Amino acid sequence: MRLSVIGCGYLGAVHAAAMASLGHEVVGVDTDSAKVERLARGEPPFFEPGLEALLKRSEQNGSLEFTTDIAAIADAEVHFICVGTPQLPDALGADLTALVGAVEAMVPVIAPGSVVVGKSTVPVGTARRVAERVAAAGATLVWNPEFLREGHAVHDTLQPDRIVYGVDTLAEAKAQGGAVGIVDGVYRTMLEGGAPRLVMSYESAELVKTAANSYLALRVSFINAISDLADASGADVLEVAAALRLDDRIGRLFLNPGLGFGGGCLPKDLHALAARAGELGVMDTAALLAAANQVNETRRPRVKALAARALGGVLAGRRIAVLGLSFKPLSDDVRNSQSALLADDLVAAGAVVTATDPAAVGLARVSHPGLRYADTVGEAVADAELIILATEWQEYRDLDPGELAGWTRARTLIDARCVIDSARWSTAGWTVLAPGRPASVPGGSAP
Ligand code: UGA
């Protein structure tokens, strides 16, 4: 099938490459010419495992192209809207400027009978307005939210755990040869592979996406709230989490305590859903979501307090190494990264922070200019008095305490993500501090 993808950021670039890999002819459109040029050369404009290989393979087959020219979408049967919907600069809601711009640019170009598929994350109530606009061009809208995770985007796009279609009416969903059938054709490989497909109203489909991200945020904040109780009572949050995970009703994932959630999605979607709940007058829901955000906002101050405790109460003038800047491992994304923001907080308190990251140093230099940067762990810790493991990249989790001790005079590590085997580290002579966990000191007892 001939497809277009409007907006080639994390979502669109991966979606375009993945659809081409399924055998479709895909044209990706973005207003950013530098991004388009990179994608056209087969270079991902961001760090995403597996994307480069997928881009190169599809471009060599001639089934994938990128352009800034919206007219190139004219002969596509299906148009995917993948533009960003960031948080508004001065409010909690989502900024729909790029979405409205994309729809207005498409409408004069697309053919009657084509299908427009909305994948961007939007406040509930948006799709119905978009549907009216695309109907003016004789096209039909299906709302098909995306659930891909950065760092696993290629896998999540090609092997989705569910495919959701939001439609105007159930009659439309059942119509033979209608929009739903056409989108089924695009996803045939995944559907034949067993991906569950759910057809529902526009409003439900929009809400599925923001509810999913908000629930993940609630879980992270819940375990972090329990972490505060562990600190107050002498419990160990990791022991609590390990037992909680064995309850099938609770489940294993998204119960890792530490610095809290960040990135380009969970924080803004939680805010946007809280704002929308407020607009709709559903105040208890707004309050629940606001509380999850409040717990998240207190993570960095807690780790900063641990750093002050480790340094005898004074941060000003002290040298701290921060390992990890991206909002999570396997990503170079520093948007709303709690790790990079923590480093800034320490600098604001007068500390001299040298930070490193396997992938994110380039982007962090631009958005966090107050930090010093190092290319390697050895360089970052060389003159440090304290080391903070801020983003749990595997290579930091695998650090050898004996080897690290040879590179630095520091003997205290703050494990801000609660991923270190603290007994092993304290046996090797380190003091390990982690939020929600008793301190682990050489010799075994807490200070
Ligand atoms: C999130 C969702 O997981 C995806 O399903 C969704 O499609 C995507 O947003 C989106 O809306 O586009 P992503 O932003 O890539 O994906 O990140 P997550 O893997 O969800 O992690 C979010 C944050 O939560 C990270 O900062 C991570 O460190 C933190 N986290 C996660 C924890 O602190 N504890 C956990 O147990 C899990």
Domains and CATH numbers, the chain: 2-201 (3.40.50.720), 209-297 (1.10.1040.10), 299-433 (3.40.50.720)
Phi, psi of 119 (to 5 degrees): -115, -20
Decide if pLDDT at 447 tops 60: no
Probe target for ligand 1 pocket from 149, 245, 334, with the most ligand atoms within 8 Å of CB = 149
Q: Which residues have any ligand 1 atom within 6 Å of their CB?
A: 121, 146-150, 213, 216, 220, 254-256, 258, 260-263, 265-266, 327-328
Listed residue (161, 270, 275) closest to 216, CA to CA: 270
Listed residue (302, 367, 15) closest to 157, CA to CA: 15
Measured by CA distance, the residue closest to atom 9 of ligand 1 is 265
pLDDT attached to residue 101: 97
For residue 372, what are the β-bridge partners? 354
Measured by CA distance, the residue closest to atom 5 of ligand 1 is 147
- pTM exceeds cut of 0.85: yes
Q: Which atom of ligand 1 is nearest to the CA of 213?
A: 2
pLDDT attached to residue 445: 54
User: What residues contact 223, with CB distance under 8 A and at least 6 apart?
Assistant: 237, 241, 244, 254, 255, 256, 257
* Whole-Å CA distances, 107 to 74, 158, 168, 408: 10, 28, 18, 60
Probe target for ligand 1 pocket from 51, 218, 261, 325, with the most ligand atoms within 8 Å of CB = 261
| Residue with the larger pLDDT of the pair 445 and 242 | 242
| Residue with the larger pLDDT of the pair 58 and 149 | 149
pLDDT digits (tens, 9 = 90+) for 428-445: 999 999 999 999 999 875
Decide if pLDDT at 112 tops 90: yes
pLDDT attached to residue 361: 98
Quick one: pLDDT band at residue 446, thresholds 50, 70, 90?
low
Quick one: pLDDT band at residue 395, thresholds 50, 70, 90?
very high
Decide if pLDDT at 416 tops 70: yes
pLDDT digits (tens, 9 = 90+) for 349-383: 999 999 999 999 999 999 999 999 999 999 999 99
Contact at 8 Å (CB) between 85 and 119? no
The full 3-state SS of the chain, as one line of letters, equals CEEEEECCCHHHHHHHHHHHHCCCEEEEECCCHHHHHHHHCCCCCCCCCCHHHHHHHHHHCCCEEEECCHHHHCCCCEEEECCCCCECCCCCCECCHHHHHHHHHHCCCCCCCCEEEECCCCCCCHHHHHHHHHHCCCCEEEECCCCCCCCCHHHHHHCCCCEEEEECCHHHHHCCCCHHHHHHHHCHHHHHCCCCEEEEEHHHHHHHHHHHHHHHHHHHHHHHHHHHHHHHHCCCHHHHHHHHHCCCCCCCCCCCCCCCCCCCCHHHHHHHHHHHHHHCCCHHHHHHHHHHHHHHHCHHHHHHHHHHHHCCCCCCCCEEEEECCCCCCCCCCCCCCHHHHHHHHHHHCCCEEEEECCCCHHHHHHHCCCCEECCCHHHHHCCCCEEEECCCCHHHHCCCHHHHHCCCCCCEEEECCCCCCHHHHHHCCCEEECCCCCCECCCCCCC
pLDDT digits (tens, 9 = 90+) for 283-338: 999 999 999 999 999 999 999 999 999 999 999 999 999 999 999 999 999 999 99
Measured by CA distance, the residue closest to atom 37 of ligand 1 is 254
CA–CA dist 292, 306 (Å, integer): 22
Mean model confidence pLDDT for the chain: 96
pLDDT digits (tens, 9 = 90+) for 51-86: 999 999 888 887 999 999 999 999 999 999 999 999
Q: Which atom of ligand 1 is nearest to the CA of 392?
A: 28
Measured by CA distance, the residue closest to atom 34 of ligand 1 is 256
Mean pLDDT, rounded, for 197-201? 96
Residue 8 annotated in active site: no
In angstroms, what is the span from residue 76 Cα to ligand 1's centroid?
33
